Structure 1
Amino acid sequence: AFLRSGVEMQARFGRYPGAVERSVAIADEIGFDLQKARPRLPVQAPEGHTPMSWLRELVRLGADERYAHNREEAEERLQRELKVIEEKDFPGYFLIVHGIVAFAREQGILCQGRGSSANSAVCYALKITAIDSIYYDLPFERFLAATREEEPDIDVDFDSDRREEVIQWVYDTYGRRNAAQVANVIQYRPRSAVRDAAKALGYSPGQQDAWSKGIERWGAIHPDDVESSGIPKAVVALAASFLGAPRHLGIHSGGMVLTERPVGEVCPIERARMDDRTVLQWDKDASAWMGLVKFDLLGLGMLGALQHTFDLVKQHLGEEWSLDTMPKEEAGVYDMLCKADSIGVFQVESRAQIGTLPRLQPRCFYDLAIEIALIRPGPIQGGAVHPYIRRATGVDPVTYPHPVLEPVLRRTKGVPLFQEQLMQMAIAIGDCTPDEADLLRRAMGSKRGLERIETLREKLFAGMAKHGIVGEEADAIYVRIQSFANFGFAESHALSFALLVYASSWLKLHFPAAFCAALLRNQPMGFYSPQSLVADARRHGVVTRRPCIQASQAQADLEALDGAVRTTGLDSCVETQPQVPRFDRRARHSLEDHRRDGALAIRMGLTDVKGIGADVAARRRSCR
């Protein structure tokens, strides 16, 4: 099948004068803009409430709890955010996310909103996020600005073991005809292109695999690889024509679309290979163009590991802990991190992070956010890592580009690290509005970021001139702002992840056996193999026992060392914490004082044996 050209159509219908011309006129009359079929969200509000009034009520109830200590201060910020949400007609979006998170919490499923949503006090009041944007002075416009037409983007992480429960609840609540997951269009890469080209030309499966393994996974098909692998020219030529073309549809990692009317009336859908799932035949970009609203329900392995740790501690020691009840700002946690003892800890276990921790010497929660943000390609390439560390450790003095910028850059020692700081700098010295600052921020993430930033140059320089910043001083500040087109990390994202850094560090310090067993249950995850995690646990005095056909559970578990289970360590370590002092490398840091599961050993699970899967392990356990 193919489309005939205009010349071919004229020749084919030459005996019917004017037919082709009239077909164009008819097409113009019956054509319509597909985007006008944009569906509405399936908003659910109690009787007597509009979506907006119900959102205001939920925010009021949440704010009474979360902002009890500064209710009046928070009210102004909340009302400003709610006004923007109402003007943009976004209340339904927030209500749906709130409902999903509320269900997860009711079922005991660990979850946490992250990313730019942590810039919103409304999200904090609704318990979607755990970061107080008012306390950290995070700009709401980083999350939702009046200049944005699309819905805000709220990413919510769930315990990866139980995320499917949340997905199925969404299907059941909103109807399978009104919910679907977004597709990923998987494109041909060199290896898959060579394999399929060889298959099309009749070569054996073994030969297909051999040739594909000799090719780089990404990029182009290099002549050197072709020559060394002995791939026929016909296969190479055919494979080269495949590169970048769609191969098949996959499922987006967490994107779900909800519509008021059946989603199949808007775009084609199909059943997924996984049971009880429906998938769009469009990817996220096509869905966004159509106006379909995507909800990101992501699975995070560390949340699963934390939940397993809490469960193991409760089961074997009778202590019940949660993210909300564990002591905050414990000196022992920061001492452990200052010694680079972070294998298995969320986000700070890479070699680069391990090398930075002793230099940065984190002593408070915000230092953890800095640590996460520093070891990123952008700050490293932008030369921000060493200046910050030297200032933080007192080697270099803290200076600011201009006194007006001191309130903006004080927390990062005068070194701009975060996207939010760029926005605040533009507001402080450039007289930009928050919405204009958001335009600047979005330019940073664009491939044409430098060009877009240039459009605000006059505005920035005029504002700086009002503050007496001219000449080389103004140019130097502008260069700093311009550099954010190449790097810049979201402060809200770093703070959200810092919560999990602290939680995983606290559990590793106090319950190393339970924490290691939980990590083993959630493999693969992180940088290290199970062997490395077990070796690290042994260095911390944890006894690990081999899998046993009689004693092992399906997954790694804990068992008593000598038949008597008791809590070890000092109770004072998990009680009210004194102020964290400066780190003293020469001081005694006893792990035994902190460890509370010292009477327990790890028993490796049956699934830790190569070749034994979860189904076989479960059947073997049931036969005892």
Structure 2
Amino acid sequence: MPDIDTDVCYERRGEMIDYVVRKYGADRVAQIITFGTMAARAAIRDVGRALSLPYGDVDKVAKLVPAELHVTIEKALNDAPELKELYDQKEEVKKLIDTAAALEGMPRHASTHAAGIVITPEPLTNYVPLYKASDGPVTTQFAMGTVEELGLLKMDLLGLRTLTVISDAVRLIAESTGENLDIDKIPLDDPPTYELLCRGETAGVFQLESSGMRSILRDLKPELFEDIVALVALYRPGPLGSGMVEDFTKNKHGIKKTKYLHPKLEPILRDTYGVILYQEQVMRISSELAGFSLGEADLLRRAMGKKKPEIIASLRSQFVEGAKNNGVDVEIAGQIFDLMEYFAGYGFNKSHSAAYAMVSYQTAYLKANYAQQYMAALLTSVKDNADKVSAYIEECRRLGIEVLPPDVNESRESFSVAGNKIRFGLAAVKNVGLGAVESIIRAREQDGPFNDYADFCRRLDTKVVNRRVLESLIKCGAFDSLGYRRAQLMASVDSGLGLAQQSQRERENGQLSLLDFLGDSREAVSITLPEVGEFPVSELLAMEKETLGLYISGHPLSQYRDALNTLCTATAAELAEMPDDSEVVLGGLITGVKKTSTRKGDPMAILTLEDLTGTVEVVFYPRPYNQYRLVIKPDEVVVVKGKSRENGDDTKVIGDEISTLESYLEGELHLKIESAASPLLDQVQLILSSYQGSSPVFLHFASEKKVIKAGEDFWVDLTGPVIARLEDLLGRAMVKVKRKTTVSPRAAVVKTVNGTAGDYGSLTGQPRQKGQVGRQTKKSGSFFSILEL
């Protein structure tokens, strides 16, 4: 039986299963078991416990196994010299590893398959044995493969988070605008959507948010829904490595003329610009050119896809003979078959690609047309992943959408839309459980917004809103809109709790206080807050990080945003999408340093580097650590060069170089301008004066064939957006920065436009023409430092 795959809203998957159970009967529907197997490290630890070996010794051996996906003990012995050394030298370690290797891969525990359910025409017990864990559903004792071999109907009901995001976004659109959007009836030719795709601004867009996919989008520039279908099929290791993507893009844009081996191929391959991309195309070519039945065409597709040479060889002669009977030249028919065989190995199921492309388009449409609502729904979907939340909040900032901190009077449980902004949800605050959130929202809905801090304390339920909850709400800024300083409220936690407990006792005893006879008691209750100054900004940000897992009202790196965007080739959020061993440049704040040593005793360090999108681990082995150890310290803003390395489910960086951002950005700015009379000079002067700093500026005038140094009032801060502004005005090729880390400004030799070199004096930096002697004067406030000869 073929299995049936259905992706459903993640939060409603249980409803789907309940429906199937009701429809076919509880005795005929079960979920499918899956077995967790013993991986290399787990096998070593389990055997160590069974042999009663000291935990520390076993843990040391287990940690020598590389933390890579699907690594085996055999591979670890080949790749990890220290593990092999222990194995050869210590008998107890050899016994431990040999025993673990024998058990590796064996089932360790049973759990429930993430998607699969089985449906039988008669009671399940007539077909499969069943299993019931104490706290789990009824499952089969047979795993998925065996269930399929028995010929039973298997369905995959997979909870897809993106469908939940779309559903939440549509709900938020209705709540915030009153518009009832039918996501299944949106236009498939929406210009803003295709403009967003062509710009590659697809962070948060289903299937299209990886850095590699964004690069292809910018090259491909999709114009039709069919282009998106093709893109989903193309972005896989096979097509990427085979050159199919480049052929597809060049043919689409007419850079390369699309050629067809036979006119009958054109209607089949026109939508994919001559590239055999889909499995259905292989079947259609076989049917229309060679007269294959649909069954024979499917047999050929499967044989080509699974590279079964004996079946392919037997069908080749049938294809060539059938094509010949349809008027196709024998040689051309052979070439077409060879082409099919080459591409079929990379072929993708078009119906699958089209379904995913529709979800991709829907999410892109929502982001392009309802950015606030879509990003709020997206943030809700990842609220338990601080790095993802950080990355998407940074994307909101790029889109010009402000993300506000939690607020006791406005926040819902999850992220919500507040005008043209997004409001943080209360459930995302650490130490504030769902019960406390529901209590706060219920009190607000019953009696209106909280007037002040005292009113909040009087109305809260102390069974769920305790000291930890109150302190967390204060630290994250949830009371800021009421006009208080967080330092005042932190000093008044005891007073607030005292009032809350008193009010709770009165409610439970059914008593009416004197205040209840005075009308609106909320106006009468008050707490005197101490007159204390606010916490320093750094402390406020630290409180937000503590309670929200990220910075929300600001970030220690905010002032360096433009510089980091210019210098870095990847962010922490993008690392996981990059191929292993990619060369990367990262920038961020060192939030932790763990100094350790190799087994030989050589010092090394493991850093936690945080940028605007998340955190990443950076490892500095002894050689680079010794070279850069003075830079490696907490709270330093740095630029790191290194290589990405897969580390289980995470990606770390092996650091080669590190320097402070400040020293990296110190240098000289060189601008190439046609002449001193250029009309652009006024705009250049305006931009330079807007970003004053300590980095010298040199102007290269092409027609005059000279280089002139700008006055100090026009020196710039290279950490700001000055470079981007000048590149927009003059062009990227006309703007160059010479960094202090690679070229010393005092010893710099700059070529003038005619190819001769001007000697820059070690103190003043003024150009001196060969054979001329003169004195230099500085005119403060003038655009140029004038050289008087």
C-alpha distance in structure 1 between counterparts of 2:386 and 2:432, whole Å: 23
**Structure 2: which amino acid aligns with 1:475?**
G
Q: Deviations over 1:525-550 (max 9, x none)?
A: 99971111111111111110123455
Equivalent position of 1:292 in the other structure = 152
C-alpha distance in structure 2 between counterparts of 1:445 and 1:247, whole Å: 34
Q: Does 1:502 align with 2:373?
A: no
SS at match of 2:183: coil
C-alpha distance in structure 1 between counterparts of 2:138 and 2:175, whole Å: 37
Q: Deviations over 1:173-197 (max 9, x none)?
A: 3332221011223222222222222
SS at match of 1:353: helix
Pick closer, same or farther for the CA change 1:545–1:518 going to 2, 3 Å: same
The equivalent position to 1:162 in structure 2, one of 1, 8, 12, is: 12
The equivalent position to 1:233 in structure 2, one of 76, 94, 97, is: 94
Q: Is the 8 A contact 2:30 2:138 kept in 1?
A: yes
- 1:327-366 equivalences under 5 Å are 327-366=187-226
Q: Deviations over 1:494-521 (max 9, x none)?
A: 1111111111011101211111111112
Q: Is the 8 A contact 2:268 2:281 kept in 1?
A: yes
Q: Does 1:544 align with 2:396?
A: no
TM-score (norm 1): 0.65
Pick closer, same or farther for the CA change 1:485–1:273 going to 2, 3 Å: farther
1:233 deviates by 1.8
Q: Does 1:250 align with 2:111?
A: yes
The equivalent position to 1:190 in structure 2, one of 40, 55, 58, is: 40
C-alpha distance in structure 2 between counterparts of 1:507 and 1:456, whole Å: 47
**Structure 2: which amino acid aligns with 1:415?**
V
Equivalent position of 1:606 in the other structure = 426
Pick closer, same or farther for the CA change 1:612–1:442 going to 2, 3 Å: farther
**Structure 1: which amino acid aligns with 2:112?**
I
Q: Deviations over 1:400-438 (max 9, x none)?
A: 121121111111111111100011111122221111001
Q: Does 1:423 align with 2:275?
A: no
The equivalent position to 1:519 in structure 2, one of 361, 378, 402, is: 378
The equivalent position to 1:384 in structure 2, one of 219, 244, 247, is: 244
Q: Is the 8 A contact 2:282 2:344 kept in 1?
A: no
Q: Deviations over 1:213-266 (max 9, x none)?
A: 442331322115665355722221111111222222222221111123221232
C-alpha distance in structure 1 between counterparts of 2:188 and 2:221, whole Å: 17
Q: Deviations over 1:257-295 (max 9, x none)?
A: 1123221232211224655x2111111111112222111
SS at match of 2:268: helix
> Percentage identity across aligned positions?
32
C-alpha distance in structure 2 between counterparts of 1:159 and 1:615, whole Å: 25
Pick closer, same or farther for the CA change 1:394–1:293 going to 2, 3 Å: same
The equivalent position to 1:264 in structure 2, one of 95, 119, 125, is: 125
Equivalent position of 1:65 in the other structure = none
Pick closer, same or farther for the CA change 1:199–1:450 going to 2, 3 Å: farther
C-alpha distance in structure 1 between counterparts of 2:411 and 2:333, whole Å: 67
- 1:12-411 equivalences under 5 Å are 150=1, 152-203=2-53, 211-215=61-65, 216-221=68-73, 222-223=76-77, 227-228=81-82, 232-272=93-133, 274-275=135-136, 277-411=137-271
C-alpha distance in structure 1 between counterparts of 2:82 and 2:338, whole Å: 47
Equivalent position of 2:295 in the other structure = 435
SS at match of 2:30: strand
- 1:444-463 equivalences under 5 Å are 444-446=304-306, 448-463=307-322
Q: Is the 8 A contact 1:249 1:281 kept in 2?
A: no
1:210 deviates by 5.2
C-alpha distance in structure 2 between counterparts of 1:530 and 1:546, whole Å: 13
TM-score (norm 2): 0.52
Pick closer, same or farther for the CA change 1:226–1:399 going to 2, 3 Å: closer
C-alpha distance in structure 1 between counterparts of 2:204 and 2:385, whole Å: 7
Of structures 1 and 2, the larger Rg is shown by 2
C-alpha distance in structure 1 between counterparts of 2:427 and 2:99, whole Å: 43
Equivalent position of 2:701 in the other structure = none
1:468 deviates by 4.9
Q: Which structure exhibits the higher relative contact order, with contacts defined as CA atoms closer than 8 Å and separated by 6 or more residues?
A: 1
Pick closer, same or farther for the CA change 1:615–1:195 going to 2, 3 Å: farther
**Structure 1: which amino acid aligns with 2:77?**
P
1:600 deviates by 2.9
Pick closer, same or farther for the CA change 1:527–1:338 going to 2, 3 Å: farther
C-alpha distance in structure 2 between counterparts of 1:402 and 1:427, whole Å: 15
C-alpha distance in structure 2 between counterparts of 1:444 and 1:525, whole Å: 43
1:553 deviates by 2.6
C-alpha distance in structure 1 between counterparts of 2:134 and 2:258, whole Å: 57
List runs of 5+ in structure 1 lacking aligned partners.
Answer: 1-149, 560-598
RMSD value, Cα: 2.6
**Structure 2: which amino acid aligns with 1:520?**
L
C-alpha distance in structure 2 between counterparts of 1:274 and 1:233, whole Å: 39
C-alpha distance in structure 1 between counterparts of 2:135 and 2:226, whole Å: 41
SS at match of 2:185: coil
Pick closer, same or farther for the CA change 1:175–1:619 going to 2, 3 Å: farther
Pick closer, same or farther for the CA change 1:311–1:394 going to 2, 3 Å: same
Q: Is the 8 A contact 1:419 1:484 kept in 2?
A: no
List runs of 5+ in structure 2 lacking aligned partners.
Answer: 88-92, 443-459, 462-789
Q: Is the 8 A contact 1:382 1:483 kept in 2?
A: no
